[in-house]
Copies of this chain bind each other. A is one copy, B any other.
Amino acid sequence: MPIPDDRNQQLRLVEAILFASADPVPEEALQARFGEGVQVRELLLDLQALYEHRGVNLSAMGGRWAFRTAPDLGEHLRSETEVTAKLSRAAIETLAIIAYHQPVTRAEIESIRGVATSKGTLDILMEAGWIKPGRRRETPGRPVTWVSTPHFLDHFGLESLRDLPGVEDLRAAGLLDSRSGMGPLAPVALPAEAEPEPAEG
């Protein structure tokens, strides 16, 4: 794609490149991109002046350029910072089982999953606000059951628990592979899969 001749277009392009780039962009990389006929430094300085008093500034750090939110706004921006973390597979599966089988006790979750549930898993899900303790089961030991919360529905954009797709829907949607013709015979001979329990995140 040839670089536009029009200076305003060049300015727009620099702006877009800097915005979309994941890392600060070295000036010489921009210069190489635009070719010798273009004064990249001047474009950058113009852009910097344009953004000087704005909520976003263009800053140069060791010959690399990037947009950053204005430093004086930092205190307004950082108020509710949370670190996003990936949920472990065990936690996602546990959450799914609570969603589909609730109210369900921890022992039932373990029996469904076939592995022990570490204490941390339920804690993490509770901390995220997705599950909460429900009624106690009226059986010996009166174990606590777990249910999903309204926030769970909210987070996953569901109107109600009844909208969770059933097993047949999952299969039809391709989220559950159906077995091959001779499938039922083969896996029986295999040793039961050892369930890897990833470390809780």
Contact = CB atoms under 8 A, between A and B. Distances in A.
Interface of A: 1, 3-4, 11-17, 19-20, 53-56, 67, 69-70, 73, 75-77, 79, 106, 117, 119-124, 126, 132-136, 142-144, 149, 157-160, 162-166, 169, 172-175, 177
A173 B123 contact: yes
Which residue, A3, A20, A126, A164, has most C-beta atoms of chain B within 10 A?
A20
A134 B163 contact: yes
Contact of A16 (B3, B69, B79, B165): B69
Contact of A121 (B117, B119, B142, B174): B174
19 contacts: A1-B79, A3-B76, A11-B55, A12-B55, A12-B70, A13-B76, A13-B77, A15-B54, A16-B56, A16-B70, A16-B73, A17-B76, A17-B77, A121-B174, A126-B175, A133-B158, A133-B164, A133-B165, A143-B169
What is the copy number of this chain in the assembly?
Answer: 2
Contacts of A75: 1
A16 B55 contact: yes
Given A123-B173, A133-B164, A174-B121, A16 B77 contact: yes
A49 to B, nearest CB: 14
A139 B174 CA distance: 23
A159 B135 contact: yes
A123 B174 contact: yes
A99 to B, nearest CB: 13
